[in-house]
Amino acid sequence: MNATFHTALHLLWTFSQLSVLGFGGGKGIIPQMHRDAVQTYHWVTSAQFTQFYTIGKLVPGPTTIFAALIGYAAMPKTPLLGAAVATVGMFVPSSAIMMGADMAWDRFANSPWRPILARGLAPAIVGLVWASVLTIARGAPAGVLPYAITGVVALLTLRTKLGAPVLIVLSGIVGIIALR
Amino acid sequence: MSASGAPVLAVRPSLWNVALVFATISSTSFGGGQKASIRQQVVKQGWMDADAFLEGLELAQVLPGPNILNLAIFCGQRVRGIPGAIAAFFGASLPPLAIVLIAGALYFKYSDNPFVRGGLRGCAVGALGLTVANALELSWDERGDWIRLLLLAITAVVVSLFKMPLLLVLVVFGGIGVLHEYLRARRQAAI
């Protein structure tokens, strides 16, 4: 088995697992994705992981599209293939489940388990989001100014109507001036 | 739409049209705004009624996968069956993929430049702030129930410190959460 094929299989398998476990819109998968992509397979560094996540937040569409960038970096000789494989892994399994669920709609529509499942999983997902904060922080610059920017952005998100792209771009401008 | 409120499909869009609608939404709007855009599109154009849309939104949020992508698939499937779902999938995922790849190519070309690096570092701490806000907001929603708060805290600590695998986290802490919610629902039904 050649190296390209080997890496492609690992990408597909890794992101497919994350895809089917991506409850809560995929918010909870970041810690596991970091463990797989950074620690297990060394596809990207911690800093790259955080920057790819940031790009995922900055562009329109689902944040988890940044899986494509991990695939891109994982296969330096054939980056577009890597990106395609990672994206297929990330999006196709969950999409197939969605299609299947809609076909089984009659059994699913009034099931009392639907709200119980949604509400019951929520605490674990929120806990995973806090773990994601620590995961992303590992690849982000440390210090008084970075922490201050993080705090101000969090506050502005909660207290104003400013959107994610605007806040990220403003943080970037501060970074160009003061975090070179 | 019918006056009686019954779900009548006024239009049966072409597959190309389905893909194009979601391609437009996915490449121009962000986060919560996308749900509103999809709702506007499918309800106002008569693809489905508001109730069907809300059902779809709920299903999209319960199941794994990005909410917007799941919702697009639901809408595509309702108007054109599985081919419609596939058209919606490509429409909703290809433009973001193209955009993120352009961003990625620029990243790999210019990330050594000190100005770009500074900008990226700034963006990264900004994205971290968004995630903190999200975590705070979601935690605030749980404030009424100390068992759920405790579950949330234990999950965060165990995942961060002991690197518990995601599958195990969902089975154990997700499972406890679902059991707790099941018992609560049953108590409520008994009253």
pLDDT by residue (tens digit) across B22-74? 999 988 877 667 788 888 888 888 888 888 888 889 889 989 999 999 999 99
CA triplet A41, A47, A50: central angle to 5 degrees? 90
- Structure confidence by residue, pLDDT tens digits, B96-138: 999 999 999 999 999 899 999 999 999 999 999 999 999 999 9
Sign of CA dihedral A116, A122, A124, A128: positive
**pLDDT at residue B37, rounded to an integer:** 85
Cβ atoms of residues A141 and A179 within 8 Å: yes
Contact B177 A31 (CB under 8 A): no
In terms of Cα–Cα distance, which of B135, B184, B127, B137 is closest to B155?
A: B135
Which chain A positions have a beta carbon within 8 Å of B108's beta carbon? 72-73
Chain A residues near residue B134 by CB distance under 8 angstroms = 27, 129, 157
Q: pLDDT tens for residues A2-26?
A: 888 999 999 999 999 999 999 988 8
* pLDDT, position B4: 43
The pLDDT, as a whole number, for residue B40 is 86
Other CB atoms within a 10 A radius of the CB of residue A67 amount to 31
Mean pLDDT over each residue of chain A, to the nearest integer = 93
Q: Check if A124 contacts B (Cβ < 8 Å).
A: yes
Distance of alpha carbon B175 from the chain centroid: 22
Q: Which of A110-114, B76-80, B130-134 shows the lowest mean pLDDT across its residues?
A: A110-114
| Tokens encoding B83 | 């081919």
Answer for the pair B129, A168: CB distance below 8 angstroms, yes or no: no
Out of B85, B104, B160, name the one closest to residue A134 (CB). B160
Tokens of B126: 């900004």
Over residues A119-139, the pLDDT tens digits come to 999 999 999 999 999 999 999
Whether A95 and B73 lie within 8 Å, measured CB to CB: yes
Buried/exposed A79-90: b ≥16 CB within 10 Å, e otherwise: bebbbbbbbbbb
In the numeric block, which tokens belong to residue B88? 């919606």
Q: What is the dihedral of CA B136, B103, B30, A88, to 10 degrees?
A: -90
Judged by a CB distance cut-off of 8 A, whether residue A151 touches chain B is yes
CB contact under 8 A, A131 and B165: no
Helix axes A46-58, A164-178, angle to 10 degrees: 130
Sign of CA dihedral A66, A70, A71, A77: positive
